[in-house]
C-alpha cells in the first residue's frame, strides 16, 4: 500500500530542486588557556615602570649596603631571605601590579590544576 498525504505532497512540491551548499564557518574565540607571561624580562620591565621600585633599584645600585635585604642582579630586584642554616635564598621581587595576576594564574587559571575559590567552597 503506497499512501501519500496532503502534507507530504505539499512538502515535496515546495522543495526547491537546486540547493545551495554553504561551507561551515569556524568561529574562533580568544582563549585564555595559555599561561600568562611571567618572564624575567616582563618582571624587569614592570619593576622599572613602577616609580618606587625603580627608585629602590637605583638606590641599591648606587649603595648596596643601603638595604641589605635587597639585591639587584642584571637590573632585576631580588629579596634576600636568610635561612636557619646561615644561607641566603634570593627571591624575585614581584611588583605589586603583578601580584593579583600571578595569584590568579597559579590558582584560578584552567592550566593551574587548582579550581579557585569559587569551586573550593
**Would you call 107 helix, strand, or coil by DSSP?**
helix
Q: Which domain holds residue 51?
A: 37-113
Q: Is residue 14 part of a domain?
A: no
Q: Give domain status of residue 17, yes or no.
A: no
Does 118 fall in a domain? no
What is the pTM assigned to this prediction? 0.60
Cβ–Cβ under 8 Å, residues 109 and 57: no
Is 8 a member of any domain? no
**How many structural domains comprise the chain?**
1
Do the domain assignments include residue 49?
yes
Whole-angstrom Cα distance, residue 14 to residue 20? 16
| pLDDT value at residue 82 | 86
For residue 105, which of 39, 41, 50 has the smallest C-alpha distance? 39
Burial of 76 (0-12, 13-18, 19+ CB in 10 A): middle
Element (H, E) at 72: strand 70-73
Provide the residue-wise pLDDT of the chain in tens; the chain has 121 residues.
566 666 666 665 555 555 666 655 555 445 555 667 788 999 999 999 999 999 999 999 999 999 999 999 999 999 999 888 888 899 999 999 888 888 877 776 666 565 555 655 5
Amino acid at each position: 500500500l503506497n499512501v501519500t498525504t496532503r502534507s507530504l505532497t505539499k512538502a515535496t512540491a515546495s522543495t526547491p530542486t537546486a540547493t545551495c551548499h554553504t561551507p561551515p564557518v569556524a568561529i574562533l574565540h580568544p582563549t585564555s588557556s595559555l599561561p600568562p607571561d611571567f618572564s624575567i624580562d616582563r618582571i624587569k620591565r614592570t619593576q622599572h615602570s613602577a616609580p618606587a621600585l625603580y627608585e629602590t633599584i637605583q638606590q641599591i645600585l648606587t649603595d648596596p649596603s643601603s638595604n641589605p635585604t635587597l639585591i639587584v642582579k642584571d637590573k632585576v630586584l631580588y629579596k634576600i631571605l636568610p635561612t636557619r642554616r646561615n644561607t641566603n635564598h634570593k627571591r624575585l621581587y614581584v611588583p605589586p601590579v603583578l601580584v593579583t595576576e600571578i595569584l590568579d594564574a597559579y590558582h584560578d587559571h584552567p592550566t593551574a590544576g587548582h579550581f579557585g575559590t569559587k569551586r573550593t567552597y
